[in-house]
Structure 1
Amino acid sequence: MPVPRRSLLAAGVTAAFVPAAVRAQPAWPSRPIRFVVPFSPGGGSDIVARLLADELTQRLGQPLIIENRPGQAASIGAAYTAQQPPDGYTILICTPGVQMTNPYLYPSLPYDPEHGFTPIVHIAQLPNILVVHPSLPVTNVAEFIAYARANPDKLSFSSTGSGSSSHLAAELFMNMSGTHMVHVPYRSSGQALIDLTAGRVEVTLDSFAVMMPAVRAGQLRLLGISTAQRMEDYPEIPAIAETLPGYEGTTLLYMVGPAGLPAPIVQTFNAAFNEVLRLPRIRQRFREMGMAASGGTPEELAKIIDDGRVKWRRVIEIAGVKVD
C-alpha cells in the first residue's frame, strides 16, 4: 500500500531535527587509542604494553599509541587516565599499586582508586621467588622458616623499596610464618642482586625474571615461588604455599579504562585482549620474561582487585609499612 506523501514529508522533517552527532555516530574505534603506561620506557610494564599494542592494533583496526606517564608510584599515569572521557580511547596498564596498595601507603592520591576506573582484563601474573645466599644452611622453605624463627632479626631481606611488591611479599611471608627479618630497601632488583650474590643481604622475595639467572649460575639458592600453586611452565619449583598454606605474594598486570566505560567497548577490548593472550608467541614471550599470561572476564578482574585491596591493606597495616 503506497505511503501517503504527507507521511513521507513528516518523516523527513522529523529526521531533519535529529542531531547530526546522533545520526552520524562513527563506529568505535574510529581513531587511535592511547595506551597509557604509568612507568618509564624500557621497564616490564612498558615492554608488555608495546608487545600487546602491536597485536591489538591488528584486531581493533586502529593503532594503540603508547604514552609513558611515569612518576609518583604510577599515580601520574593513573590520574591522567581517570580524568579522560570514558569513550574507549584511553586505557591504562596497571600493577597492584594503582588500586590495591597506594591507597594505604599514601595519605592522598590524585585519583579515586576504588571508583575511578573500569576493569577490562587481567593480563599476567609476575611471580616473585624466595631465594637465599648459598651460605645459609637451608635447602627448602620449611628449613628456612625454622632457621629464621631460631634467628630473629639476624637475617636481612632486600626489596625494591618500601611498599613495593617484593617488600610486601616478604612482609606477608613473615606475618604468616612467624618470622622476622631486617628490611633493606633498594632502588631496583638489579641493585639488590649485587648485594645478594655478595652475601651482604641474605634473602629476598623478588622478581622471578631478575633472580633466576643468578639461581642458574649457582650464586643464589631457590627455595620456592610465590604463586598459589606451582607454575605450569616451571613445575619443578615448589610453591611457598605448599609449606605455608594460603600464601601468595605474586604481583600482576591488568588493564582498566576510565570509570563509566560503556559495556560494549569493555567487551570488545576484553575479547581482543583474550585473543592476543592465547597466542602461542605471546605466551612464549611472557614465559621468557618470567610471567604467566592470564586473561578472563572484567568481572573476574574486578574480584581480583577487590580481594587484593583487602589483602594488601591488612599486610600494610600489620607491618606498619611506610613509604620512603
Structure 2
Amino acid sequence: MLCNIRKVVSAGSLVLLAAFSTAAGAAWPDKPVTIIVPWAPGGSTDILARVISEHLGKSLGQPFVVENRAGASGNVGSSLVARAKPDGYTLLVGSMSTHTMNQALYSKMPFDGVKDFTPIAKLALVTNTMVINPSVPANNVAEFIAYAKTRPGEIAYASAGPGSTNHLSAALFEKATGITMLHVPYRGGAPAVLDTVGDRTQLLFTAGTQSLPFVKDNKLKLLGVTEADRAPTLPDVPTVDETVPGYELTVWYGAFGPAGLPADIVDRLNTEINKALKDPEVVSKMESMAVQVVESTPEQFSQDLARDAEKYDKLVRDLGIRIE
C-alpha cells in the first residue's frame, strides 16, 4: 500500500515537474519556428533573416523557417506576428518603418508597433544613401541644394511608395532645406532605382544595397548618407547632416516576437542572435550590402524602439504624410 502511494506521488511529481518545465520554456523549441519577413524575398531584410535562421536552427536544434508575407509597407506580415501566440514559435524580422513610422502614416493600423510586440534584438543598421542621376550638375549636397532652389518643383525624386523611408527621407530633406521637389512614387524600390538611373527621376534616397552597384558603374552619383555618423563601409562619404545640420534618418532592422513572449525565450534568442551577428562571415556578407550588424540587449532595443516611435510619429505628422 505504502509502495503504491509512493508511486502515485512520484508520478504526480514528474507530471508537475514536466508541466513546470514547459511553462518555464525549458523545452523550447521542440518544433519548427517560423520567422516572418514582411517584405518580398531577395532584399537585405530577407537575406539577414535567412542568415540568422540558419544559425538559430543549428544552435537550437530545430528548423527556423523564413516566410515572406509582403504587403501594405510591412503591415501584412507584421500583423500576423502581433496576433500570434507568444510561445516563441512565430517571430518577426521587422524594421523601423513597420514599428515607428506606420502608426502615424496609416489611418487604420492592424497593430501597435510598440505595444503589440516583444523586442528581442536590434540586428543591423542600413546605410541609407542620397543619390542623383549624373545629369544633375552637382557633386555634393550643397551644390544639389543650390541647383534645386533655382528649379522649384522641377526635380523629381523617386520612392518605393507613399510613406516609405525613401519618401520620408526626401520629404524631410525638403523641409530642412526649403526646396520644393516633385514626388514620384513607385510600387517598390527596384523601379524607383531604375527610373533614377534612367533620368526619369533625378533624386533618390535609398539603401546602399540598391544604389551602390549603380554608383560603382557611374550610373548614379553618391552625395551622402542620412545617418548621424559616416558609414564604416563608406568612410569618405559625408553625411547629409554635415551640410544640413540636424538632418538625420537611420534605418534599422530588428527581431521581434508577439507581446508577452516569455523572458527566458527572449534572452535565449538574444544570446544566439548576437552570436550569429559576430560571425566574421556574417559581418562580411552584410557589409558587402552596406548593412552594419549591431549587438544589443532586449532592454536596449526596447528603449531604442520607444524613442524612435515617438520621434518618427512626430516627424511624420509634422510633414503631413498620410496613407488612407
TM-score w.r.t. structure 2 length?
0.90
Q: Which residue of 2 aligns with 1:109?
A: 109
Identity of counterpart residues, as a percentage?
A: 36
Query: Map of 1:240-259 to 2, 5 A cutoff?
Result: 240-259=240-259
Q: How many angstroms does 1:147 deviate by?
A: 2.6
Amino acid at match of 2:70: P
Amino acid at match of 2:239: A
Looking at structure 2, the residues matched to 179 and 282 of structure 1 have their Cα atoms a distance apart, in angstroms, of 40
Amino acid at match of 1:22: A
Q: Which residue of 1 aligns with 2:19?
A: 22
Q: Which residue of 1 aligns with 2:50?
A: 50
Offset from partner CA, 1:218-254 (integer Å, 9 cap, x none):
2221110112111112211111122223322232211
Query: Map of 1:154-233 to 2, 5 A cutoff?
Result: 154-233=154-233
Query: Map of 1:56-67 to 2, 5 A cutoff?
Result: 56-67=56-67
1:16–1:55 distance in 2 versus 1, CA, 3 Å: closer
1:200–1:41 distance in 2 versus 1, CA, 3 Å: closer
1:138–1:108 distance in 2 versus 1, CA, 3 Å: same
TM-score w.r.t. structure 1 length?
0.90
Secondary structure of the structure 2 residue equivalent to 1:100? helix
Q: How many angstroms does 1:282 deviate by?
A: 0.3
Contact 2:197/2:219 (CA < 8 Å) preserved in 1?
yes
What residue ranges of structure 1 are gaps of 5+ in the alignment? none
1:135–1:23 distance in 2 versus 1, CA, 3 Å: closer
Looking at structure 2, the residues matched to 16 and 22 of structure 1 have their Cα atoms a distance apart, in angstroms, of 11
| Higher radius of gyration, 1 or 2 | 1
Contact 2:40/2:68 (CA < 8 Å) preserved in 1?
yes
Q: Which residue of 2 aligns with 1:37?
A: 37
More deviation, 84-93/114-123: 84-93
Looking at structure 1, the residues matched to 299 and 28 of structure 2 have their Cα atoms a distance apart, in angstroms, of 22
Contact 2:21/2:27 (CA < 8 Å) preserved in 1?
no
Q: How many angstroms does 1:151 deviate by?
A: 3.0
Looking at structure 2, the residues matched to 13 and 278 of structure 1 have their Cα atoms a distance apart, in angstroms, of 48
What residue ranges of structure 2 are gaps of 5+ in the alignment? none
Offset from partner CA, 1:237-290 (integer Å, 9 cap, x none):
111122223322232211000111111111111111111101110011101222
Secondary structure of the structure 2 residue equivalent to 1:101? helix
Q: How many residues align?
A: 320
Offset from partner CA, 1:154-203 (integer Å, 9 cap, x none):
22111111001111111122222222211111123321233222322211
1:24–1:136 distance in 2 versus 1, CA, 3 Å: closer
Q: Which residue of 1 aligns with 2:128?
A: 128
More deviation, 50-59/11-20: 11-20
Contact 1:122/1:295 (CA < 8 Å) preserved in 2?
yes
Contact 2:123/2:294 (CA < 8 Å) preserved in 1?
yes
- After superposition, the CA RMSD in angstroms is 2.4
More deviation, 282-291/143-152: 143-152
Q: How many angstroms does 1:129 deviate by?
A: 0.9
Looking at structure 1, the residues matched to 245 and 304 of structure 2 have their Cα atoms a distance apart, in angstroms, of 19
More deviation, 37-46/235-244: 37-46
Contact 1:171/1:315 (CA < 8 Å) preserved in 2?
no
